[in-house]
Amino acid sequence: MALPATAQQELIKDQPLNDPAVIDLFGLSVAFGGRPILKGLRGDLRGKAIGLLGPNGAGKTTLIHTLLGFYTPTAGTAHIFGQDIVDHAKEIKSLVGYMPERDSFISKMSAVHFVRLMAELSGLPSEAALERAHEALFYVGLGEARYRKLETYSLGMKQLAKLAQAIVHGPRLIFLDEPTNGLDPPARLRMIKLIREIRDSGQAHILLSSHLLLDVEECCDEILILKDGQIAVNCNLEEERKSNRKFLMLETRGDLAGFVAALKELGCEYAITGDHRVKIVLQAGVEVRDLYRIAAREKIQLRKLSYKRDSLEDIFLKAMENGHGGL
C-alpha cells in the first residue's frame, strides 16, 4: 500500500528527500517559569524514521512541541529541512504532520470533516482538502467509517483517525507521539505496519516518540535519547549495535589447547563453554581475521562465529547509566 498518489505528488514537489538533515538543532533551549526543560541541544537528525526516547520528564514532548512552533526557544534554534522554526513557522506547518498523544477531536464532527479541516489548516484549498481526507481515511482503513462521528469510534479507530489527519496534506516529516498508546496487540500491529509502509515509501520522514522500545526498534533507523533535557545518545541504530562487536561466540572442531593458548598470548579473555564452544572478548587491536589466522595455524575449524548485538534496551540502559553522551 502506498500513500495517496496526489499526496505523493505534493510531497515531493521541488523538495527532494536527500536534504542534508531532516532536523538541525543549534543549541536549542527551552525553559518554563525559569526552569530549564531543554538544555542546549545540538546535532542533526537524518534518518528515515527517528526514534525519540527518554524517561518521563526528559523533554521529549517539549522538543516535539518546540519544533512544531508551540513553544518559543529561550536560546538557540532548530531547522526543519533547512528552515528556521521561528523565522519560517508558517512554511514549516505545510511540511510537517502531527499525531498527538492525546485526543484532540472536535465534538459532533465526523471523521471526514475533521480530517478535511486539518488539511485546510495545513494550507490545502477546501476542495483538495476534502479529496485528500477521503484518500487518507481509506489509506488507514477507515474508509467505511469516515462519515461516523468521531466520538463513536473505538480507541484503535481514533488512533487511526489521528494518523489520517497527520498525513492528509502530504507532509515531508510526520511527528508521531505515542501512536500505539493503549492499543491491543492486533491494533498495535496494524499501526506499526502503517508506520513502516509510510517509512518505506520514501515519501516522508518520521519522528516517533514512544515509551515502548519495541515500537522504536521495529520502525526506526536512528535514535535520539534525552535525559534531563540533554542528549544522552544520538546515533544510527544499526551502527550503534555493530559498534559492540568485540564479544564473539565460536563453534569449533579440533584440539582447542593451542588455539586458546594463542588467544591468551593476544590478551583476549575467553571461556570454554562446551567441548567445541568458546566465548571470546577481543582486546583493542585484535580483529576477527587474527582468529582465522590462529585457527589455520593450529589446524582448528571455525564452524560458526556470531556477534553479540546490543538490543535497543541495552543502548537505552547504557545511556541512562552513562549520563549525557552528547553528539
The span from the CA of 197 to the CA of 173, in Å, is 14
Residue 242: predicted pLDDT: 62
pTM: 0.77
Mean pLDDT across the stretch 42-50? 95
Q: What's the confidence (pLDDT) of residue 186?
A: 94
Angle at 111 between CA 107 and CA 117, to 5 degrees: 80
Q: What pLDDT is attached to residue 288?
A: 85
User: In this predicted structure, which of 91-95, 169-173, 269-273 has the lowest mean pLDDT?
Assistant: 269-273
Which burial class, exposed, middle or buried, applies to 274 when counting CB atoms under 10 A from its CB (0-12, 13-18, 19+)?
exposed
User: Which of the four pLDDT bands, split at 50, 70 and 90, describes residue 3?
Assistant: low
**pLDDT (0 to 100) of residue 185:** 94
Identify the pLDDT of residue 161: 97
**Which residues lie below 8 Å from residue 37, measured CB to CB, with a gap of 6+?**
30, 31, 59, 62, 229
Helix (H, G, I), strand (E, B) or coil at 281: strand
Domains and CATH numbers, the chain: 5-241 (3.40.50.300), 245-307 (3.30.70)
Looking up cell 466520538 gives 151
CB-based contacts of 121: which residues, under 8 Å, 6+ apart? Answer: none
pLDDT tens digits, residue range 171-211? 999 999 999 999 999 999 999 999 999 999 999 999 999 98
Q: Tell me the percentage of the chain whose pLDDT exceeds 90.
A: 61
